[in-house]
Structure 1
Amino acid sequence: MFWSPVVAAAALGAVSVVAAPAASAAGGGIAVMSAAAVASFTPYAKFASAAYCPANKTRTWTCGSNCQATPGFIPHASGGDGDDEQYWYVGYDPTFLEAVVVGHEGTNPHELLPLLTDGNIVRRNLDPSLFPGVPSSVEAHSGFQDAHAKAAKDVLAAVQEALAAHKTSKVILVGHSLGAAIAVLDAIYLPLHLPSSISFTAVTFGLPRIGNSAFADYVDAHAHLSHITNKADPIPTIPGQGLGFAHPNGEKHIDESNAWIACAGHDNPNTECSTGAVPTIFSANLADHDGPYDGVTMGC
């Protein structure tokens, strides 16, 4: 879950008039994904869902059905308290992804501090101590940056440990909602502090907009991202385009028929993509936010 229904509806209503352009001939660039391509995202969804579980559960990989569905996973570290700091974990998956996996929790709507984090939409430059060399034109949501910073150094240390232990050069970053935003920030943070021989892939679910168009361009140039959106979920449409926010490339949208559509470009306005599918609050359905994503519903 990202925001409470009341907060999300208010935010969407405040920006929907200017957030989503109407679908038109300019909203092309879509392609139906194959069943095999869709199925390839299922392990990522299970790992993203597991991130909602408390740190003591992911540290021992005893987090219920999602842990049972990913046997052989070797946890290395976990942290967070689900309130001031989102839960996170780092481990190695030898079975499905053959990579180090970093998972970040989305918002717990029953806790106050994550809701305040989500609502802090003022954009600012990225912290140069965490993101050295990133151009000053790149701006991102203050709340998401604060949430990322709380665990950034601990996650980096755990990733370094896992990479060394398993002699791998692949890192996968996953998350849903607020966790998705943190995962994308990780996807540009970690490469700045690790050898260039390491490859990074971010796969996120229900991703809100994180930054301005320069941020989206920076992600396109420096990260390999797939962000999956579900039907009429309003969260990927906020904060609004009218407030200067933009999505990076890489959207895969689940339409009302449950087909998966690859959507080209930033905020593709085609009605088969999230921006076009949810033009106003009256088109939104917050129940779609948690999924299912190819059968996986987010949550511990």
Structure 2
Amino acid sequence: MHRLTGAASTGQPILFNSQSIRPLNTEISNLTQLVNRSGRSVLAIWSRQSSQQDFAIRPRVFREEEEEEFCSISYSPINLNNPELKFKFKHKKHASIYNHTLTNIVVHYASAVYVSDLTELFTWTCSKCDGVTEGFQMIELVVDVQSCLQAFVGVAKDPYAIIIAFRGTQEHSLQNWIEDLYWKQLDINYPGMDDAMVHHGFYYAYHNTTIRSGILNAVKRAKEYYGDINIIVTGHSMGGAIAAFCGLDLVVNGNAQNVQVITFGQPRIGNAVFATYYHRLLRNTIRVTHGHDIVPHLPPYYYFFPQKTYHHFPTEVWLYSVGLEFLSYDVEKICDKTGEDPTCSRSVTGNSIVDHLVYFGVELMCKEWRSCRIVMERPLLEYGQADDGGNFVFSRDPATPIIRLKTQSDAGGNHH
């Protein structure tokens, strides 16, 4: 049984009980009318403590010590003529490490790193470079053309932190990449961690490319200028896997104490031993999954071979939607500490690419399907260096003013 309570405009709680989350039409109508008349947002709480069979609205006072037993739900009244009344649920247990507002900001950086116009990205003038990310100051942009990787480092205004973002797989190769994930083997030991196995492709994408040196150099310069501020590492899809290795590298080899990792639609990257090591060193990690997103289900997890199979590290936050006749609500479920909570994304079939490409309503993909070619204006070359493989690193001194480069439309520049 589930019980829902909320505060109406009078301050009096309202309560109803549901069986299998399917209340009667008449009672749910009374509830929505009450909410609609209040004209205010409502905070509600689910509880699993009651076996009560009826469905009613009545007072309920919660004791402070009961708070951990509930999941909070916030929703706003919508005109009853609207076919949908949207609820947003957020579980309160383990809320100390999951910050809904922060995660909704960070997802925009995970989206922005997909921008293919390097001039717009480096100067933070792209269509994704405003709103909650306004005021971000780019320090380094790294493009590994050979491996089709892209990442940036900069400092955000709110939250005041160093942001490191890694691009995921390009859409033109996404289907092939997903198919390859089924067969990736645990084939190398993570250095310094006995029996911790990872796949070399995920590991090398960070450690054996231009990406790592560019990222570490930028973090060092940022800390020298801004001080020992927090570091947030993020990425989507393959970018999430690289972000996890980056966060671990900063803690293990960089002795950083204030690192948080937030990934979206990340695949599994190592075995259970690796997941345990990772969680001990980087407890402040949020791994967001969405609906039936196929990628977090890969490479496959075989519960009957727990020590020999891939295994996610915690903490997963599963986003999913539930329809209830003319009601619809979005749930943010904070999962258990195993990393493989059977009641979270593992409880559904991972069969959706659409769910993989949108998180919190934000698209995580390139604007156009294209190969890994460089798109930039000539003035940007003043800030860049290229190696023999054609890989680029664009750097900015944090002490210099925000870069203002003329775009092609302003100066008739050329793309490369």
Scaled by the length of structure 1, the TM-score of the pair is 0.78
**Matching of residue 171 in structure 1 with residue 171 in structure 2:** no
Q: Which has the larger radius of gyration?
A: 2
Aligned to 2:125: 62
8 Å CA contact retained: 2:197, 2:270: yes
Select the residue among 228, 248, 258 that pairs with 1:188.
Answer: 248
Let me know the Cα RMSD of the aligned residues. Answer: 2.6
8 Å CA contact retained: 1:206, 1:236: yes
Aligned to 2:102: 40
Letter in 1 for 2:310: F
Per-residue CA deviation, residues 18-61 of structure 1 (Å, 9 max, x unaligned), is xxxxxxxxxxx995526994333111100111111234433221
Distance 1:249 1:226 in 2: 7
Distance 1:160 1:238 in 2: 34
Q: 1:152 to 1:295 in 2, by over 3 A?
A: same
Shift of 1:118: 5.7
Q: 1:174 to 1:118 in 2, by over 3 A?
A: farther
SS in 2 for 1:148: helix
Distance 1:30 1:234 in 2: 29
Scaled by the length of structure 2, the TM-score of the pair is 0.57
8 Å CA contact retained: 1:117, 1:143: no
Letter in 2 for 1:277: V
Structure number with higher helix proportion: 1
**Matching of residue 71 in structure 1 with residue 138 in structure 2:** no
Q: 1:172 to 1:153 in 2, by over 3 A?
A: same
Letter in 1 for 2:197: E
Question: Paired residues, what number?
Answer: 257
Structure 2: gaps spanning 5 or more residues:
1-68, 72-88, 93-97, 303-307, 323-329, 367-416
Select the residue among 135, 141, 161 that pairs with 1:99.
Answer: 161
Aligned to 2:314: 249
Aligned to 2:279: 220
Distance 2:155 2:201 in 1: 29
**Matching of residue 210 in structure 1 with residue 269 in structure 2:** yes
**Matching of residue 141 in structure 1 with residue 199 in structure 2:** yes
Structure 1: gaps spanning 5 or more residues:
1-28, 129-133
Distance 1:69 1:251 in 2: 24
Distance 2:228 2:133 in 1: 19
8 Å CA contact retained: 2:113, 2:165: yes
Aligned to 2:362: 296
SS in 2 for 1:202: strand
SS in 1 for 2:218: helix
Q: 1:67 to 1:84 in 2, by over 3 A?
A: farther
Aligned to 2:15: none
Distance 2:319 2:190 in 1: 34
Letter in 2 for 1:100: I
Distance 1:261 1:191 in 2: 27
Q: 1:117 to 1:276 in 2, by over 3 A?
A: closer
Letter in 2 for 1:254: L
Aligned to 2:186: 123
8 Å CA contact retained: 1:118, 1:144: no
SS in 2 for 1:287: coil
8 Å CA contact retained: 1:82, 1:108: no
SS in 1 for 2:221: helix
SS in 2 for 1:256: strand
Q: Which has the higher contact order (CA 8 A, sep 6+)?
A: 1
SS in 2 for 1:286: coil
Distance 1:286 1:63 in 2: 25
Aligned to 2:222: 162
SS in 2 for 1:155: helix
Structure number with higher strand proportion: 2
Shift of 1:110: 1.9
Shift of 1:69: 3.8
Q: 1:60 to 1:118 in 2, by over 3 A?
A: farther
8 Å CA contact retained: 1:118, 1:143: no
Shift of 1:103: 0.3
Distance 1:235 1:193 in 2: 29
Distance 1:118 1:86 in 2: 17
Percent identity among equivalent residues? 25
